Amino acid sequence: MMIYLPIAEVSVNAFLLLGLGGLVGILSGMFGVGGGFLITPLLFFIGIPPAVAVATSANQIVAASFSAVLAHFRRRTVDLRMGFVLLAGGLVGSGLGIVVFNILREMGQVDLLVRLCYVVFLGIIGALMFVESLRALRKTRGGKIAPRKKHTWIHGLPLKMRFRTSGLYISVIPPVLVGVAVGMLAAIMGVGGGFIMVPAMIYLLGMPTKVVIGTSLFQIIFVAAFTTLLHAVTNQTVDVVLAVLLLVGGVLGAQFGAVFGARMRAEQLRILLATLVLLVCGKLALDLLLRPEELYTLSTGAV
């Protein structure tokens, strides 16, 4: 069944989009990520204009994260105070990201920037996660548990604040900076930034893992919502029909993913996710490195 998307101005197969949303939903249910880092490149592959893909993914992330954060609220694993601090940074970053996005769009380099961001960040995160989970797998076989870091340079900064849910007493500067960075990436890449936020919160801020996902999701909702609004107002590139199709698939897929995920071990899940991230990264890198079939690209005023 073909559906004409009013903003993207292309006609695509509705079942393809439902399937795509479902696939990403399964993964996000399994791994606890928003799935934006997968859905945006997949939308590029099926021919949605990059600007529309980025803006619409942000809208889809709002739904996915909202659904997930409700579950975390029930389990009381959301650090609201930390969430708001990250959010303050995130909104600033998101605004900056849109400005950068629009400047680059006029220069014709937005496609390159988005792809480069993906290759670099997916590559780094994928590789780190792969190595880390391999090590964890070996360690659990040896029967040892990795010790947590105690004090780093981060604890020496001023403007300290107490975060009760996380059991932390640290400066607000690092969380705000993390927020800004993730907000910018969210606006440029059309992702919630969970896959960067989560490791940053665990390794940089030293937050306990059980609060990290809920808190990250909480602030992603707002950043993604803000990004959606900014894209809608400045570029008119949010396609609601596209978003709804992705949502329906995603919501259903997430339920199945959660079931699959519960049957697997944490390290195995992380290795799988890392492999997947590296695969997407590899595909995008090849696109940049190999000679494209068509050296010329067209763009009209609207997109």
Partner 1 sequence: MRLWLALLLLLAAGPARTAEEVVLGLSQDQVSISTSFSGSEILIFGAVKRETAIPEGPPLEVVVTVQGPDRPVTVRRKERRAGIWVNVDAVEVDSAPSFYAVATSGPWEEVISHTEDLRHAVSIPRAIRSVGAPSGVLEPQAFTDAVIRIRRANGLYIHKEGAVDLREQTLFDTAIALPANLTEGLYTTRVFLTRDRAVVARFDTTIPVRKVGLERWLFTLSHQQPLLYGLMSLAIAIAAGWAASAAFRLMRPQ
- Binding residues for partner 1, rule: CB under 8 A, are 1-4, 6-7, 9-11, 59-60, 62-68, 70-71, 108-109, 111-112, 116, 225, 228-229, 231-233, 236, 238, 240-241, 243-244, 247-248, 251, 254-255, 258, 288-292, 294-301
* 88: its two tokens: 């303050």
- DSSP SS3 for 2: strand
For residues 145 and 298, which CB has a smaller minimum distance to partner 1 in the complex?
A: 298
Q: Report, in Å, the least distance between residue 206 CB and partner 1.
A: 30
Indicate the DSSP class of residue 163.
E
Q: Give the number of C-alpha atoms closer than 13 A to the C-alpha of residue 86, restricted to the C-beta side.
A: 31
Q: Report, in Å, the least distance between residue 240 CB and partner 1.
A: 5
Q: Report, in Å, the least distance between residue 67 CB and partner 1.
A: 4
For residues 173 and 232, which CB has a smaller minimum distance to partner 1 in the complex?
A: 232
* 113: its two tokens: 């920037």
Q: Report, in Å, the least distance between residue 146 CB and partner 1.
A: 31
Q: Report, in Å, the least distance between residue 12 CB and partner 1.
A: 9
Cβ atoms of 288 and 119 within 8 Å: the answer is yes
State the Cα–Cα distance between residues 42 and 295, nearest whole angstrom: 21
Q: Report, in Å, the least distance between residue 88 CB and partner 1.
A: 20
Reported in sequence order, the residue ranges of 41-97 that DSSP labels E, i.e. its strands, are none
Cβ atoms of 136 and 147 within 8 Å: the answer is no
Q: Which of 191, 202, 163, 196 is nearest to 179 (CA)?
A: 196
Cβ atoms of 77 and 216 within 8 Å: the answer is no
For residues 15 and 130, which CB has a smaller minimum distance to partner 1 in the complex?
A: 15
* 182: its two tokens: 């993730």
For residues 99 and 233, which CB has a smaller minimum distance to partner 1 in the complex?
A: 233
Cβ atoms of 236 and 228 within 8 Å: the answer is no
For residues 152 and 234, which CB has a smaller minimum distance to partner 1 in the complex?
A: 234
For residues 172 and 220, which CB has a smaller minimum distance to partner 1 in the complex?
A: 220
